[in-house]
Amino acid sequence: MFEDLLRQWDGEEAVIRFDEPSGAWMFVCVHSTALGPAGGGTRMRVYDRPADGLADAMRLSQAMTVKMAVANADRGGGKAVLAVPELPTGDARRTLLLRYGELVASLGGTYRTAGDMNISPADLDVVRERCPWVYGTTGAGGNSGRGTAIGVLSGIRASVEQVFGSADLGGRTVLVQGAGSVGHDLALFLAAEGAEVLVSDVDEERAAVAGGAVVAAGDAFTTKCDVYAPCAVGGTLNADSIPQLRCRIVAGSANNQLATPEDAQRLHDRGILYAPDYVINAGGVIQLLGLEDHGWDEHELDRNLATIGDTLRQLFRTADAGGITPAAAAERVAAERIAARRAAARA
């Protein structure tokens, strides 16, 4: 079931466990520890096949390696997926999370987790009962969604400046696709800066709560806007959807927005600036590491979140100078930093 995926993956370690009482598959993928212990969130999701959950964890862990390297965090990349037959509640959820905490604890700190899709700070409190390597609990770094949204806002400013010559969002039309915790906050921040905000979600009531004009989920790709901000599930930008886009910029919080690496070039060929997701959505990582490891106050946190825009500006310059996509520029930066750390370790 999993052999072909494991053979094709370039990561360091994949831990697979079937949790018979719940019917869930637990996947923990450690892609790289070259820059430090692997960090990355845990997502809980229903997949068509268990192998799809493993593939998701592998892709996300590689993206976390690049995210950590570009953000200059002393962490490697990892990710965990709980592939469940249905989203559990009550005692069933608690016992699954406790057993998952035991699995992460057994890795001895090689992988350090936080929240992701369908995992809340309260869920992480439960994991923390069995595992010391947990970020984002209710009593510590808290919900990282706000930090992610602030970082994405900074990245959208930088992207708008690159395309239109000014970072001013006043009058710019931004379509926020996905009105979950990050998308909701992002929509509010954008409106406060004078942007014309459009919100699309499979749950139109949730979209309406985020403010702005509601766009039907089926019309998100084809709605004209300056910035398309994917903030829901990944893999939605592909050979079929990219030709439908009517935007100048793609800049949002969703992980793994591109279905394949080649989709970065497809966006480029259409004249659409892509802010690599693992760069623009690093605010959650910055928040948790800053508050829990470095003891930052809110002022220091906000100052560091703003650097996401500066990082993107540099990547856009590098991409332009080298005739490559911003995604390729980000991966080059990550590879150089990882290679430098490995060389230093051998010296």
> How do residues 196-249 score in pLDDT, each as one tens digit?
999 999 999 999 999 899 999 999 999 999 999 999 988 899 999 999 999 999
Residue type (1 letter), 18: F
Structure tokens at 48: 């068509």
Question: Pick from 103, 128, 153: which residue ends a domain?
Answer: 128
Between strands 13-19 and 24-32, the pairing is antiparallel
> Does residue 258 belong to any structural domain of this protein?
yes
User: Is 346 a member of any domain?
Assistant: no
Determine which one of 43, 79, 266, 268 is catalytic. 79
**How many domains does the structure of the chain reveal?**
2
Domain of residue 160 covers 145-335
Is pLDDT at 296 greater than 90 in this prediction?
Answer: yes
Question: What's the average model confidence in pLDDT over 176-193?
Answer: 95
> Are 105 and 184 in the same domain?
no
**Distance between CA atoms of 64 and 46, rounded to whole angstroms?**
22
Chain length of the chain: 347
pLDDT exceeds cutoff 90 at 139: no
Asked whether residue 323 falls in the same domain as residue 204, the answer is yes
**Catalytic (active site) residue 79:** yes
Query: What are 82's two structure tokens?
Result: 């709980």
Q: Does the residue 340 lie in any domain?
A: no
**Interatomic CA distance for residues 276 and 278, integer angstroms:** 6
Domain contains 342: no
Q: Do 300 and 155 reside in the same domain of the chain? A: yes
Gap between the Cα atoms of 322 and 318, Å rounded = 6
Which CATH number goes with the domain that contains 45? 3.40.50.10860
Does residue 274 form part of some domain?
A: yes
What Å distances lie between residue 174 and 106, 190, 202, 227, 278, CA to CA? 44, 8, 18, 5, 20
Residue 119 and residue 161 share a domain: no
Q: What percent of the chain has pLDDT over 70?
A: 99
pLDDT at 344: 81
